[in-house]
Amino acid sequence: MIDTTLLIDYFRKTDKSNSRLVQLSEQFDQLIISTVTEFEVYSGATDAQLTFWTELLSEVLVLPFDSQAAHIAVEIQRDLKKLRKTIEKADLFIAATAVANGLTLDTLNRKHFDKIKQLKLLDDNSGG
């Protein structure tokens, strides 16, 4: 599963072949995002960018933030609160979706996710 940072990085790069998103698409048969990532992408897009995003997101599997993910998000939030840590709700929901579906998450902003004990992050050196 990938988070919003990888999509934004791909969008901004002139040489798209040099992006983490392209590397992952070559490693894995299916890239997955959360509906929360879909929301973040479309809410930040201009009208001129909508075709780009619609075409790109048609290539990924979008998983819902469902009841199971909501319960996991509550658990994660409680654990973070004990550590006196907080993360943005969108990141919390993306992490919970990954955990609920037994998926490893990849992000370009690990500090948002590295305190979540239930979440497995893709190791940059693991190759998958």
Query: What's the mean per-residue pLDDT of the chain?
Result: 94
- The pLDDT-based confidence of 124 (bands split at 50, 70, 90) is low
Give the SS3 label for residue 42: helix
Burial 82-106 (b: 16+ CB within 10 A, else e): eeeeebeebbbbbbbbbbbbebebb
Q: Which CATH superfamily hosts domain 4-112?
A: 5'-nuclease (3.40.50.1010)
Angle at Cα 58 formed by Cα 13 and Cα 42, nearest 5°?
Answer: 65
pLDDT digits (tens, 9 = 90+) for 26-57: 999 999 999 999 999 999 999 999 999 999 99
The total of other beta-carbon atoms located within 10 Å of residue 31's CB is 19
Domain limits of the chain?
Answer: 4-112
**Residue 9: pLDDT over 60:** yes
Q: How far is Cα of residue 109 from the mean position of the Cα atoms in its chain? A: 10
